[in-house]
Amino acid sequence: MSRPKAENGIVPRSGLRGNIELWTPDHLPLGTTHVDLPFAAMFSRRLGFDFVPAMVGFEVRACGFVPAIRGVVVCTENASALVDACRAEIKKRQERAERRSREEAMRRWRQLIRTIVAKERLRKRYGGFQIADTNADFSSRKAGKAATGPSSQSQLGRAQAATAIAAAADASAAPKDIAAHDHQWVIVEDSTTKSDLGRKRCTICDLCVTYESLV
């Protein structure tokens, strides 16, 4: 059986399916070329070339066996221009993907550097004072009283925040020549303060801390 031949730039079809069955290279019509590249059908339409999808076999899908389409068949005189267009599009998309990947990597690096700089700035600004004793004092008070409901928990959170801020302010004003030590606290009686606030002073470095009474 003789193979069909392309004439006047028209690629012969196989039956009514509108494709060509390429079971082997010998089934390729005379005067045609099989272009198995991405975007081959798209650029064949753009360039105005007559083309036919190439069915090279069958593949298994969820619905069973379906035709496997790989590239297109065009006339040999149009194959070179089609291949060049497909390769140029592939290269352009690869460069675009690489550029987006680099931009995303740079964005993540900038975000990481900003986070590190912000953490270092906060550490230098607030990392010098010690609030371990004040936190322990509030922990002991919390253990002594059972927290009931969201209102008491929010009140305790506000008290801890106020104590931490007061400790930071007093620690910044404390003498710088005092060596690191464990604070020894004594309660300071002060009639000028509100009834729900108290003050305590370290007997070593004279650090004063204002705290809110939970009683």
Residue 35 bridge partners (DSSP): 72
- All CATH 3.30.70.2460 domain ranges of the chain, comma separated, are 20-91
**Identity (one letter) of the amino acid at 147?**
A
- In this predicted model, what pLDDT tens digit does every residue of 45-79 receive, in sequence order? 999 999 999 888 888 888 788 888 888 999 999 99
Q: What is the mean pLDDT of the chain?
A: 77
In this prediction, residue 213 carries a pLDDT of 65
CATH number assigned to the domain covering 20-91: 3.30.70.2460
Q: What is the pLDDT of residues 177-209, one digit of tens each?
A: 455 667 777 777 655 555 667 777 888 777 777
Report which of residues 202 and 127 the model is more confident about: 202
Question: What tokens appear for 17 in the block?
Answer: 């399916």
Instruction: Kindly state the average pLDDT of the residues 100-129.
Output: 89
Cross-sheet strand order for the sheet of 64-75: 20-21, 51-61, 64-75, 32-35
Residue 174 pLDDT: 47
